[in-house]
A = this chain, B = another copy of it.
């Protein structure tokens, strides 16, 4: 089971969004076929996948047939229902493993795991009631941010507390879901490390990128990030520590805040990550191929960087700028084939290669 998958093997991908789409393309480069499992119709990944199953995560029969048709299973998002994972894992290996999913599906588990590893996070407290929130505010202070422990992404499921008086409104915004209060910390910028670990335990990291968000969604990633050599070393060691502790196989995105007191972990994502899209045009092996290599039991690839890159997400109406971007020098477009441009919807990205001089 730990032999490298041969060319022609089938990689099963849970989730048919843009990450699954770019994973499919990377898998094809290594001679693999892909089978995408996605509940929604006409998913972006289907355009470049060999096979598509359209079924829900509660469809045990479809899940079993999917698992039987593939050699290994990976995923593009972390919020996969546990019951579905149980069915799939009975038939085929899931990489990255269940523990990585369990840890990152839940902010409490994630922060506990990180703190237990000795890694710093922003101050946080579990909030399951108004009394919890009052106690948390008393300890952490405001401003702070209340987040649902599960199913949050791109700023969804979050409420800001400018002052203790905002507590009731913030709690109401959680709709009764378990939540976490996170204290604001003073940081100069956010960076992320796209780290990979192979089935043989080897670890490789791409150069850290520097992230800028807009309206709670990643806007740009710039490589190289502003980091001292010591910070860069810390970032990479810290990511490796997380991967090793989870016996992780695949690519992980590790978001870090750069502070005067050192690096704090913002969050981890057990999958290829938006802040790693720049690798498509800056490296011989990009994050998508690196993930497929790991999942397929291949040696990790050479992720050394041959160019400076600025990645910009194209969100919603940003697609109106595509004709102009198509005329730019040194700009590589990556569109996701989504039919409709809605506000906040990621439609594509552009990697601008920064030439010297």
Contact = CB atoms under 8 A, between A and B. Distances in A.
Interface of A: 4, 7-8, 21, 24-25, 28-34, 46-50, 281, 284-285, 293, 298-299, 301-302, 304, 306-307, 319, 322-323, 326-339, 348, 351, 353, 355
* Tally of this chain's copies: 2
Given A47-B28, A306-B307, A333-B29, A299 B284 contact: no
Nearest to A21: B28
B304 A306 contact: no
Given A25-B25, A326-B293, A284 B7 contact: no
A73 to B, nearest CB: 18
A299 B330 CA distance: 13
7 contacts: A4-B323, A7-B337, A31-B336, A33-B47, A48-B50, A284-B353, A298-B326
Contacts of A333: 29-30
A302 B284 contact: no
A323 B31 CA distance: 12
Contacts of A307: 306
A284 B337 contact: no
A311 to B, nearest CB: 13
Contacts of A339: 8
Contacts of A28: 21, 25, 47-48, 335, 337
A158 to B, nearest CB: 30
A31 B332 contact: no
Given A46-B50, A327-B299, A284 B25 contact: no
Contacts of A304: 329-330
Contacts of A29: 332-335
Contacts of A48: 24-25, 28, 48-50
Given A7-B322, A25-B48, A48-B48, 15 more contacts: A8-B337, A25-B28, A28-B47, A28-B337, A29-B332, A29-B335, A31-B336, A33-B47, A34-B47, A46-B50, A48-B49, A284-B353, A299-B326, A302-B328, A306-B307
Nearest to A352: B284
Contacts of A306: 306-307, 353, 355
